[in-house]
Structure 1
Amino acid sequence: MRTPRTAVLLTAGLVTLLGLPAAAAATGTAAPATAVGPADLRVNNGPGGNCSDERAGRGISVPFCSITAAAMVVEPGGTVWIEQNTSYPDEVTIDRSGEPGKPITFAVRGSTFRSYLAKGLTVDGASHVVIRGLQVGGSTKVVRSGDIELDRLNTKGDADREGLVVGEGSTNVRATRSDLTGVRIDGGARGTVLGRNSVSGLINKTAVTVADAPGTAVTNNTFVTTCEAALAVGGASAGSSVHNNVFFTWDNPRCTSPAPRTGIQVAADAAAGVRADYNLITGPVVKMAPYTWAGTAYPTPAAFTAATGQGAHDLLAPNFEAVGPKDRSPTIDSGDPTAPGVLPTDYYGKPTADDPRVANTGKDGGYIDRGAYETQDVLSGVGLSVTPSWAPTGTKVKATAVPDSLWHSELTYHYDFGDGTDPVVTTKTTAEHVYAKPGDHMARVKAVNPAGASVYSSQIPVKATQAGVLTTDFTVDQPLPTEVDPGARPVSPLTVVVDPEQLTAAPWPVVRTWVEFGDGNATVTDGLHSLDNVYRTPGTYTVKVTLEDSKGAKSTATRTVKVGYAPSGYVATEPFRIKDSRTDGKPVTSARMLDVTLPAGHRVSDHPLSGSMASAVVNVTVTGATEDTHLTVWPSGQQRPATSNVNVRAGGTSSNTVTVPVGGGSLQAQLNSGKAELIIDFVGYYQPNAGDRFSPLAATRVLDTRTTGGALGGGKTRTVKVAGVNGIPADATAVALNLTGTGAKEQAHVIAYPDPAKRPATSNLNVEPGKDKSNQAIVPVGPNGTITLFTNTGSTHVILDAVGYYGKDGKALFTPVVPKRLADTRTTGKVAPGATTTVSGIPGNALGAVLNITATDTTAPGFLTAYAFGGTLPAASSLNTLPGRTVPNHVTTPVANGKVNIFNSYGGPNHVITDLLGYFTTG
């Protein structure tokens, strides 16, 4: 409810009468730092202030060091701006005067931090002075002065002296919106106002003492006191008033007096000239005497009014926890807006506010609150909607604000439609707008309550479109991972994102999106959104996108999309076992596909790796086969290819390195016939935007124990230098090696690993007596550019041929392919001893290739060597052939013009089968 207009006018008149500057009373904040007038001075003794009391003190660059120095020279109408959060050790005395309408002002720059005066503040013999924003360690005194305003001070005092003293004939001193500990007004001071202050009393001392101070107005203060009276008035204090205050009276074990605690105490010699009303007193009822008037204590406002005629509208609230600037407090809208000394703003500078939920019980229906604090409307938020949020230019859109306001008071809304036009300012919860130009705009609304508090809504996207018809268009992107963190969001290697949002012309909102990805998968979603699909295999697909808008219009577009694996770097890992059917009881058979989980992300305990690997490098061992057979390994989710990776005889053991694309986080394996135990060791992976590049080498012999060092003994290790020699740089991170075992004394396995102190429980090559066996290994480089070899039993000669290396200065990235057969001489005839067959079908820009080469129908021991087409035959081998045995090997070789040569040694004719697993390019 609203106060009558007459009360409002009377309040304004009293403020003017008391001489409060209107701007200061309305805002309670210092002027901006930039508002420095010609007579203004600066004080800053803080770090970097570059101050001096010898200079003029004008401007930021030449401030005074002390307030005293500035106080000696400031002119009427000038302001001494004191840097916030600075401290001054001297006692400050102000004895210089302003003029009517041109006061001298001392103010802290900004309102966040008060500046500190250690030894006190005295105004002596001055007039027309404003002091704002200081914290005073000692006492603040005003003596023999007139028209003095003290605003937003913090003055504590001590056990011997009050925080604020006004006396010695001072006139029209106003202490407002301050924290005051102990106040004394005496010595003939006239017209003093205490308004909207937080007042506390020292232990065993009266909080505010008024003695021989006529015309003192104590209005809208909040007292928190112990022991003695909150307010004591005595002597010749005629015309004084006590209105709209809240008195909290507490008890304290340190109180020396057993007497009840008193809110208002007026001595007999002052009682006739003092007026009191609209106060609220609260505290522990047992030890409280709310009033002591002319020597008589009164326990209730009713008794007090009946005896004195005062306090007719006073309240006694026993529950002091519910009193104050709180919702539903009895202080709300119950004061006297016409009381002497009333201010239009509260302790925080907030204006008088009318809670519409509370009856206005103040004088003449007024709604000022009692105490220093004015309870304000709590404006906690505002929501915004815009309809339609997507429409052609020229369409009228409507914004609706939904405020979250405790009082539901009338708010002012500033609607910003985000297109550069001026905000629409209105008290209505809706506003209309027409966008003139197409574009994506962010609309927002600010809600402001009558107290000046404001909140913003979230930004709401609004699309203004070009008028026309719905026309579908879209982009296709194959996103790549950007990091190898196992916790990063995984990106499958054949993921494709179809995005119609950027290219589609849609005058009206799109309500539905259909995407047919061309592989049998289709997705439909509400609205206009990008959609993704993970393809099972590389290939060329026709993608079809259909959109429908809010007006029922439909539009379709198609695009041919080529999906493939991206070039990748190699990330070497310490080898670890991910599958051993001898312990998990799940052998590999011809009857069904076996699914093996790859260590992508956190899938394999203790071995978290990137969830976005494109292809994995594993060493696959088949043992205990029930018959002669071969094993095929391929990505899960794809068709089983017509290739093989490991060939094994019944009862025998064979191993081979396999590079296989990652499909769905696992690989699949299946035997051609029979059953066998399967062992898989993980040795590394390829991923786009990660790892190292590869540089292929013509096969180069690194070690041959037949000529150097002797056979590798069972249980023994051999350290071999692989980096910094043979054209491999010292900073190589991994080396691709063809590992051959010959002259083995018994069945055993050989391990190649980086750190001699950490031998893994894996293997790279299984050797047998009387048979030469090969397998390629990619081994991380260990200390000082070395790797370590170990065989578990017997002894065997070991031959190492380097075929390439990985490092930061490597040349090429790897692109995996679905295993693809390039050549099979079983349809063209055997490769004769000493002859070379050329295999084509590798991309023409490839520098190297990863092949699975298989020798079969062999009649005599020998070897095959792969090398670049047109290159020189190296003195090394890629795999060793055995009579009557089918022998595969993982081979990495240089490539020229999309071709490789495969040389057959002079042992005997061989059929040669060549399968492509991937290739290296500089892209």
Structure 2
Amino acid sequence: MHRPRPAAGLSLAAIVVVGVLSSWGSGAAVADPESGGTLYVDHDIRCSDSGTGTQSLPFCTVQAAADVAEPGDTVRILGDPLSPYTAPVTVTRSGTSDEPITFSGAPLPPTRLAAVLAAPASAPALTLKGVHDVRVESLTFSDQHHGDVVAVTGSGHVTLDRLTVTNSAPTVPVTGTAIGVDGTSSDVTVSRNSVYPNTAYGVRVAPGAARVTVTTNVILTQQQGGIAVSGATDTDVTGNTVFAPCASAISLDGASSGVVENNVAAFVGNGSQQTGACQAPTAPLYAVSADSASRVTADYNAVTHQQSSTAPARTEYAWAGTSYPSSGAFRDGTGQGAHDLDGITAGLAAPSEHSPLIDSADATAPGALDTDQEGHARVDDLLVANTGNGTGHPDRGALERQDTLTVSADDDPAPTKGLAPLGVSLKTDATSAWGAALAYSVDFGDGSDPATGTPGTPVAHTYTTPGRYTTRITVTEPDGTTAERSYAGVTAGTPAPPAAALSVAPETSGGQVDAGSARFTVPAPADPWEVAYRTLDYSDGTHDNLGSATLATHQYPAPGTYTATLTQTDLLGRTTTAGTVFHSADAFVAVTPQHDSKRTIAAHGVLNLSAATLRADAGGVDAAQLQLVTSDAKASGTLTLYAHGTTRPGTAATAFEPGRTTTAVTTVKVTPTGSVDLYNGSSGAVTVDVATVGLQSHAQYADTYHPATPVRLLDTRTGTGATRSPVGGGHSVTLTVGGTHGVPTTARALVLNVTATTTKASGNLTVATHGTGDSAVTGPCWTTGQTVTTQVVIPVRDGKVVLRNASKASANLVADLAGWYGGTTAGGAEFRPVTPVRVLDTRTGTGTGKVARIAAHGTVKIKVVGAHGVPATGVSAVDLNLTVPAPSGSGYLVAHPDGVARPGVYSLSFTKGHTAAGRALVKVGADGEVDLYNAGTVPVDVYADLVGDDLVFPAG
């Protein structure tokens, strides 16, 4: 169905809105993606400017892609209009006539929006500098500074198509140009662009430019001129619509030459007072200077306005220094504009029905396009007489009036579902606003030949094979205008519904477990197309509607055993179910030990420890591992640790007595807020120092525990793990654990039983993470001659811990392994660079075996696979740097896989007397060779350096 056009008679503000809603400057890319590679740019996702611009790892900046684009490549620029690209872009690499380089901002439907390039204050947003055979299309430019936006300098064979330049209109005089072509450029096409009122000029062509075509653009309210051509030869200005209340719509001066045809200049009011935003409100709409008049042909142009009066509101033409108020006066005075029109009421939308602009343009005008600014075909309006020239019947201006073909929303097959074989019937009552005779065809989507008919006549079809089918009805009128309606919902079902299946596994990443997180997999059934949607009940009071998704993750709110149930509904409404069990549990979060609280608890008193104190106030913590150090006890007793708000159990976390310091590690369950209580069961007060040494969480990436058969790691009495000698007071011993006794070097925390014996004076020891001074726990505390053991939990980063005797006298130290926390990590690689190596040098015979240049139209073969460090198998391409030193003539090289027809590409162009160098990423032939072909007319020396090879994934 044709998209409706906005009505005539809109205000400027409404016109701008209409332009946005009509997607001026947007559209799908037209470059053939098969002719070259595709480089992706997207700074809204994970990206890298040092990569190769794949869709999974795109470039972050447009410049990075522009710097490596090769002939035939398409640079796809993706993004979000709310996050524009702010760096200026300069394109300096060229394509070829057969394989241009294309920069496209067309989004990848349906998930991405159009990208926006923001023009900085210091430079244009995009500059094409000294290039040829480059196409830029479907990009939007934001211009807050009202400066130059797109600049073509010293370039040729360049196309700027379907660009949009937009921002708020300036309120002060500005000097910028939305799209500019400098005087050293030629063969430039500026087509189907949308320029909003934010610069001084919409399109500006500078003196010296040649063969510039400005066609089918929509340009709104520029301060100094819509389309301004000065001193340019063979410039064709064709089929544009320029809204020009503040300046000339189209002007040519400075001895310019060319054709001005099929344009529409629109204005509002009888002229307006000059302001900062409206610099030349009385300027003629069409202006051709005296030195250009004899070189310019003008015809089939129009002047429109938005008043009901048909009288011209301002001078329409200035030709060779003489003003003409109307098209008739212009025709009589100059002999030009024989078919020009004025006195027309129209807006910037497509012409309203019966407008004189319809079917009245010159189809043979230079630069005339077969489609309008929005991509619609030029068609014959059957309600309007054809008064133009040539075939095709185009309308004047950039927008073409379209027939309205109406296909009812009720034109769907019936019935839409049932068991196969399924018979359906479909008819349409489609109509044409122009009264055209219509025919229709129906593609039933099952590979059968389309059925045809005329509106009002039904067609029938039987689906014999089960499946889900899309019917597409296409209505066509004689001039080829079509409208379509699709129905993606015909279901010919299988005899039985698809079986449901469900499995579950814990989430892991980087060798850690995402505790409490379940990854559910829904295997595809035998007939996945038949699934309408799936509902997964997690049995914790929540569920997800999966639709037809095959994966789902869920974070459980607490440890426990859960039976999840999948209910699968097919397109015919039949259901099947499947279930699986998931055990949600905690994983260990290692923390840097530190003393969190030191308080004295009165006899039979309770100390409340908050979540913040224990560092257990986030991340789904269900339990804490605490170290308790007691001192200054007034009487013997025990401490009981329990979750706040629960009944105090009859248990003890540690025992203490007067005159001694004790150390213990214990685990305590916490409340959802992390708060715990510590009860002193003694008849006297005691001082307690509390340190958190670990947390247990069901909602964090954390470690699992690996218990070990206890093994002795350190014994200074026997020399196990250290020197056979007591550790002196104030001295320490470093113990290596990682990489021994089954403990990997990647372990994140150790659980050790630490003992002090043959002590010569009272004291204690500390256990610290090696290489850091802020991660230590208190080990056993002892009195003279006492042997004492304490279990400690200590983070480890390099597999080592340090035990320090804090006593004033020596003691023997013993450490036994109880277990460790951690996991394993797997990784891999895909791309293999090589040490740069010369694989070809015609000057020395390297790579060819003889000293000889590559003859004109000659080829050399380079053996790369199985040589120069490149593997003998699995290589798909090589990365070469090619150099042609001081050639005696001009030409180019073609690098391609051996054994296939030489492609028509340019791998490296060279000019007489100038050394040329460049990169060639070349696919290798089946025999492991690449070919270099000299397309020039003189022999040349060439050398090639190998810098890398691409290996088939997975490598090795």
Whose radius of gyration is greater, 1 or 2? Answer: 1
TM-score between both structures, scaled by the size of structure 2? 0.43
